[in-house]
Amino acid sequence: MRTKLIAGALILMSMSACQQKTKSVNNPLLEVWSTPYQTPPFTSIKPEHYRPAFDVAIKEAREEVDAIINSKDKPTFDNTILALSDAGDKLGRIMGVLYNLDGAETSPELQQFLEDINPIISDYSSYCNLNEGLFKKVKAVYEGDESLNAEQKKLLEDTYIGFVRSGAELNEEDKKKLAAINKKLSECSLKFGQNDLHETNAYTMFVENKEDLAGLPQFVIDAAAESAKEADKEGWLFTMHGPSFGPFLKYSDNRELREKIYRMYTSMANHDNEHNNTEIIRNIVNLRLEKAKLLGYKNYSSYQLERRMAETPEKVNAFLSELHEKSKPAAQREYNEVLAFAKKNGFKGELQRWDWSYYTEKLMQEKYGFNEQDIKPYFELSKVKAGVFTLANKLYGVEFKENKSIDKYHADVDAYEVYDKDGTLLSILYLDFFPRKSKSSGAWMTTYRDEKKVDGKRVIPFVSLVTNFTKPTKDTPSLLTFREVTTFLHEFGHGLHGMFANTTYEDLSGTSVYRDFVELPSQVLENWGAEKEWLDLFAVHYQTGEKIPEELVKKLIRSQNYLAGYLSERQLSFGINDMNWHSITEPFSGDVKEMEDKAMSPMELFPPVDGSCFSTGFSHIFSGGYAAGYYGYKWAEVLDADAFSVFKKEGLFNSETAERFRHTILEKGGTEHPMKLYIDFKGSEPSVDALLERSGLL
């Protein structure tokens, strides 16, 4: 069985999927799927199907691994490395559905089932990774003289190193310790994510008096009214989902309510209740430290970064420090400017975090004449979707065709066939846009099946993009903020990485790359968001059909570096906080908030807020795949700014440039070292200057 971390703002675990040979046993999770392209038959899968299917699949997975171990044949690439890669395919298909649904359409039954089987999955993983007989066979192939091509060598190397890093060379006593650690870590990470989802749904702010809505745009008021109606209330209900609390902080004239919703949002999973994540954080970081030391590393960041472009914690910290030195002076100037503006407009006292969005939005309107509310009518979701599809078509020649016969897990989901420029089917794409109680917050890309080749024929991937965009109301369609537009582009960039994958082995396919490289395809696509050439292709007023005015686009472009220093410092603070948690060398038993404040204080401009704690909701590093890796977003900014400079020079829609990017990066997955792939595209290593210049920080 293989597991794969999928890129995005939220990371989900996914596993390999392939055609099944099992005959029908009246359980859709075990049957050959007779759906279009063998896509998952979501509506046929019921809670009672999970456990029987899992029991069958986990048993078959063990038997497949045992067959490799017990084989009397000389270990070869095919009978060992490839056989191991394919082992547990049925289990992978089942768990791919389960883990993805747990993020996008969960239920109490699904959450309980995952809690029940998590220890079994951990045991199976340890059985494979710590198996002396299996490792001997892998090592024999690794040290052998078999003639292999470049991709085979890369899969062999990754497999061997994966075993070593998983503890295959430990003594039996330490292997048992490591297996126990991995099981506890799995349980803690799952619980962290469940607590985060529960708190997101549990906390709301109800407004009864209409005068308390002063300053809020009509779309925010309408959405809150519909949320209240869904909750059988008369009034307006604001939630902890981004499209609700974010606009409230930005536009509400009621400072008291801004403070209330801010404190509510930033204290999630830090309350004195059963969903508090502070003790889970202590357990996770201590278990990770114990694991790293058991494997011979001084801390967890050293262990993680060994297989990253950055290579060492020292390089990461130097990188973050360099950007901090460039960003902090600009951030301080921006803070002073906003404070002066607020005081000019009657503000008295100390500027607090719940004041920041409110006054920065008003200053942006005064400074650039740009009001995000002016541009939202031109970003109706269906038009933006058409614009994103058109961008992919102009760059790569691909076409998107909706297929309503493909089964979906929720009515909000749309499914598309994606065709390459030569007319061949490239991928299936699922799009799931709106928030709901059964969906985790944030945005992410994942897969239900990864690309690979079987008998020389490409098996198409099933790619899914999941977001939490502004919902339509009874009077207004979904109108996106500019940030939501760039989020769409970001996740679609990850999607292209998965859809264009063209490798032989799924372990090297698509987003199976170093964590600090995986954000390049996503972040580079964001750059088109503020380009007039792209906006002119789709952005029309949802009521009048009027093309987006040129002057409005100019205002948008001029505002792009607004608060660049502050936003850089904020992102750096997340990365430094992550590195701090994973650089401990002794077990941590202190106060989580104090630990966090110590790490993030150099980047902070505001006084601390009692009860708030960022780490208790930091799912990227505590329930996702970004532990000691969150710096990768800034690292990838360097890559994407440098890469986009090529498109700016050679043409935004230059097909030759796009094809080079596709063939050197998007198709290659993890078949080669990412720096080589980047140099193959650009012709040189990336420079931080492109990022600093784009951000106005030079």
| Domains by residue range for the chain, with CATH | 3-197 (1.10.1370.40), 203-266 (no CATH)
Spatial distance between the Cα atoms of 288 and 185, rounded to a whole number of angstroms: 8
Cα–Cα distances (Å) from 658 to 157, 281, 393, 639, 668, in that order, read: 30, 42, 11, 16, 14
Spatial distance between the Cα atoms of 445 and 539, rounded to a whole number of angstroms: 25
Of the candidates 62, 72, 105, the residue with the CA atom closest to the CA atom of residue 448:
105
Spatial distance between the Cα atoms of 83 and 437, rounded to a whole number of angstroms: 40
Rounded to the nearest angstrom, the gap between the alpha carbon of residue 272 and the centroid of all alpha carbons in its chain is: 29
Spatial distance between the Cα atoms of 691 and 209, rounded to a whole number of angstroms: 46
Q: What's phi and psi for 419, nearest 5 deg?
A: -110, 135
- What is the predicted pLDDT for the residue at 195? 96
User: Exposed (0-12), middle (13-18) or buried (19+): which is 410, by Cβ within 10 Å?
Assistant: middle
The dihedral of CA 41, 46, 51, 53: what is its sign? negative
CB neighbour list of residue 46: distance below 8 Å, 6 or more residues apart: none
Q: What's phi and psi for 3, nearest 5 deg?
A: -120, 150
Neighbouring CB atoms inside 10 A of 234's CB total: 9
Please answer whether residues 474 and 226 qualify as being in contact, where contact means their C-beta atoms are separated by less than 8 angstroms. Answer: yes
> In 440-537, which ranges are E strands?
444-449, 452-454, 457-459, 462-466
Spatial distance between the Cα atoms of 178 and 118, rounded to a whole number of angstroms: 16
- What is the predicted pLDDT for the residue at 21? 37
Spatial distance between the Cα atoms of 58 and 62, rounded to a whole number of angstroms: 6
Residue among 290, 491, 519, 637 flagged as catalytic: 491
Q: What's phi and psi for 27, nearest 5 deg?
A: -130, 110
Integer-rounded Cα radius of gyration of the chain: 25
- What is the predicted pLDDT for the residue at 690? 87
For residue 392 the two structure tokens come to 């992919």
Spatial distance between the Cα atoms of 278 and 589, rounded to a whole number of angstroms: 11
Of the candidates 29, 626, 595, 636, the residue with the CA atom closest to the CA atom of residue 305:
626
CB neighbour list of residue 256: distance below 8 Å, 6 or more residues apart: none
At position 634, the amino acid (one-letter code) is: K
Neighbouring CB atoms inside 10 A of 589's CB total: 7
Rounded to the nearest angstrom, the gap between the alpha carbon of residue 688 and the centroid of all alpha carbons in its chain is: 24
- What is the predicted pLDDT for the residue at 25? 57
DSSP 583: T
- What is the predicted pLDDT for the residue at 26? 87
Q: Is 510 left (phi over 0), alpha (psi -120 to 50) or beta?
A: left
DSSP 406: S
Neighbouring CB atoms inside 10 A of 133's CB total: 11
Three-state SS for 232? coil
Q: What's phi and psi for 445, nearest 5 deg?
A: -115, 140
Rounded to the nearest angstrom, the gap between the alpha carbon of residue 113 and the centroid of all alpha carbons in its chain is: 24
Please answer whether residues 387 and 534 qualify as being in contact, where contact means their C-beta atoms are separated by less than 8 angstroms. Answer: yes
- What is the predicted pLDDT for the residue at 18? 32
Spatial distance between the Cα atoms of 284 and 292, rounded to a whole number of angstroms: 12
Spatial distance between the Cα atoms of 294 and 296, rounded to a whole number of angstroms: 6
Please answer whether residues 510 and 449 qualify as being in contact, where contact means their C-beta atoms are separated by less than 8 angstroms. Answer: no
Beta bridge partners of 260: none
Spatial distance between the Cα atoms of 247 and 373, rounded to a whole number of angstroms: 10
For residue 475 the two structure tokens come to 């009077």
Rounded to the nearest angstrom, the gap between the alpha carbon of residue 327 and the centroid of all alpha carbons in its chain is: 25
Cα–Cα distances (Å) from 466 to 329, 412, 499, 527, 624, in that order, read: 36, 11, 15, 20, 15
Spatial distance between the Cα atoms of 54 and 32, rounded to a whole number of angstroms: 15
Name the H helices within 267-352.
Answer: 278-294, 300-305, 313-344
Q: How many CA atoms lie within 13 A of 483 on its CB side?
A: 11
Q: Is 491 a catalytic residue?
A: yes
Name the H helices within 345-481.
Answer: 353-368, 372-375, 381-396
Of the candidates 128, 115, 117, the residue with the CA atom closest to the CA atom of residue 178:
128
At position 246, the amino acid (one-letter code) is: G
Q: How many CA atoms lie within 13 A of 521 on its CB side?
A: 35
Placement of tokens 């407009």 in the chain: 345
For the chain, residues with pLDDT lower than 50 are 1-24
Spatial distance between the Cα atoms of 480 and 306, rounded to a whole number of angstroms: 40
